[in-house]
């Protein structure tokens, strides 16, 4: 995922936390705020310290970045925050991919057919 498609400032995260629509499953939560100003999807990841040490948290963020990257061109313009829960540590890559796709489809945030 390119840096141009990521949330960078704490204020952006707080805005999404306060105004975003939420969808959740066992391993992930997704918050979304529509935005026409940027014209693209900006995605941020949030991982609590409860998930594990820094190595584990960074591994989870790398996995989710790789899962979201192919879907970016199809995602609606807006601000996204994906919250990674403790149970995601035990999930394999294919499970996380399926959960992320399910959340995006549940909120109707993908244009066209699902992969």
Within 10 Å of residue 56's Cβ, how many Cβ atoms?
Answer: 13
Helices 93-106 and 54-68 pack at an angle, to 10 degrees, of 60
**pTM for this model (two decimals):** 0.86
Q: Please say whether the beta carbons of 47 and 84 come within 8 A.
A: yes
Q: What φ, ψ does residue 45 adopt, rounded to 5°?
A: -120, 140
What are the tens digits of pLDDT across the range 49-97? 998 899 999 999 999 999 999 999 899 889 999 999 999 999 999 999 9
Topology given in CATH for the domain delimited by 3-106: Ribosomal Protein S5; domain 2 (3.30.230)
Q: Tell me the pLDDT tens digit for each residue of 34-48.
A: 986 767 888 999 998
CA distance 110 to 92: 23
pLDDT at 61: 92
The predicted pLDDT at position 115 comes to: 44
């Amino acid at each position: 995922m390119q840096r141009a498609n990521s949330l960078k400032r704490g204020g952006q995260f707080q805005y999404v936390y306060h105004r975003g629509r939420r969808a959740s499953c066992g391993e992930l939560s997704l918050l979304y705020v529509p935005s026409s100003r940027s014209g693209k999807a900006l995605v941020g990841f949030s991982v609590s310290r409860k998930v594990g040490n820094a190595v584990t948290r960074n591994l989870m963020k790398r996995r989710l970045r790789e899962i979201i990257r192919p879907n970016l061109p199809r995602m609606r313009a807006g601000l996204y925050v994906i919250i990674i829960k403790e149970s995601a540590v035990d999930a394999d890559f294919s499970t996380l991919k399926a959960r992320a796709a399910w959340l995006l489809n549940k909120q109707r945030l993908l244009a066209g057919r699902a992969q």
